[in-house]
Structure 1
Amino acid sequence: MGIDQRMQQWLENSRQRFFESDYKELDKELTPEGRTEWNSIYASYRSGALLHGTVIGVEKIAAPSMDSAGGVGDGSDEIPCIVVVPYRAKILIPEPLIWWPGEERESFLLNHMGGANVDFVIIAVDRLNEFAIASRVRAMDRRRWQMTMVERLQAGDITSCEILSVGPGLLTMSCHGFDYTVTQSGLSYSCLGDLRSVYRPGQRLKAKVIAVDEGNLEISVKDAAPDPYIGAEYRHPVGSTRLATIISKYKGGVFARLTDGCTVVCRYARQFEDSQFRPEDIVNVEITSYMDGRKWLRGKIKGKIG
């Protein structure tokens, strides 16, 4: 029997134990904060109410065995979980219950979710050992229903999404129960370089709704803000000099960002060497031309500031 089937059997056994337990006795020593925490866990378990928390790490649990007591396995199968601790109780969200079915991500992504804020629904309670099992998938389903039936999101609306994880070139985020993995080009008109220098798990981003129906939500973070290239020829005429921050170097070109977000692809003035400049340096750039197809400016680095 597979892990998912054993997990389902364990959840059924856990539910029986939940209703047989004496919670008045178990909770009598709780502090007011602890009582509030466990009451919210019980409510989520009974009614499916959404809970929210910040991911603090990852740990593995032994896959449940098939004994009638619903005990854990012998460790031969382990399930990675993200961990949320709202106050004192530990909430474990197993990997099979994190991603929408058919949209699973690589397991290593869990190690980069620390700091992310996630919704979840409690599906099992082990009060004696002070932990609970939760499903993010159930919370996603609830969020999707709310989007369609309550919030009635429409194309053109500006909404918010939350970052789940960030890598050098890819970012995973969640919006109304849908997950997205996007590259730099889907996030900003500006050159960003390493996304980890700009974004972090738990950060909120604005996004524009492109299309929406009950089973789909198409959004664009990039289109939530105006394109800085529009009007650049008036703000930054050829021959003018501007402050810019070096973002990256690629194939002999230097990508820099102007203060208004415009990307300028630069070459060096003849007196400079490439080794004199690094990403994050602030430089003085002379604007030389425009690249309408790419929506970039061209420029020449005239010197470094500081």
Structure 2
Amino acid sequence: MPEPRLRRVAVLVLEGAKPLDVGIPAQVFTTRASMPYEVRVCGAAPGPITGGDGLSYLVAHGLEALDWADLVFVPGYRSPDRDDPPAVVLDALRAASARGARLAAISTGAFALAATGLLDDRRATTHWHYTRALAARYPRIRVDEHVLFVDEGAVLTSAGAASGIDLCLHVLRGDLGIASANHAARRLVAAPYRSGGQAQYVPRSVPEPLGERFAATREWALRRLAEPLTLDDLARHAAVSPRTFSRRFAEDTGTTPMRWLLRARLDVARELLERSERSIEQIAADVGLGTGTNLRLHFQRVLGTTPSEYRRTFTPDF
């Protein structure tokens, strides 16, 4: 049997590119046994590119890499609200999209995608410092300043640099399944799942001891997913009232405690579907969702598919 073709990822380095934004997709999608990707770092032309923060880049590929890629990342760059990328770069991005490549922007890379018109009439985000500038300059974009990333299918955008990791892990979950994404997260020493809807930043500081207490409660809950946990149980563990727990939890994570708990249960169910032969009923009990019917209901509502279809997608030999 011939080896399956590696998924092709291009990282487009623009003038003033931010080093962390460039490095995240290049490292996350690096070719290894657990990661069936090939990465090419490119620019408007091969050669040196002046970056931001005192760094420069020497890229081996030009815009032909965008003709080759299945997925194109556009890292953030300096002064995005003043300087558009060259027209030849914008044309190459439009051509890549037209032939079916997905385009993903990290941080201010969203301005480059906006300049192509590909974000018009779509929802998008960028670093919180630039969301108003993006909305003012491109009024047809539905800018959401409160989220870590937005997936519009053909185009994806993310907030500041660290949320680029969340975006990359989100892509991995869709391409390879949650087990592979969790493996990559462990390799990166990153949180395995932060939803795109999580807040970019906490609007006011949370007292550190309470933040640590809530983190401990989340860890405690993850070890007890099979149990019928309630809001009162979580608040009791954190030693605060349910009302305080709900409010502070939402400030910390961008979601409610019970929505977070459901998502955690579904994530564990997904990994069990990928890596075990346990039945739907057994998995539902393992993750605290009770019955297979309940698991199917939540799977369809949250993930838009059934547990059986998910298992067939990510374990084709099952």
- Asked if these proteins are the same fold (TM beyond 0.5), I'd say no
Looking at secondary structure, tell me which structure has more helix per residue: 2
Greater fraction strand: 1
TM-score by length of 2: 0.24
TM-score scaled by length of structure 1: 0.25
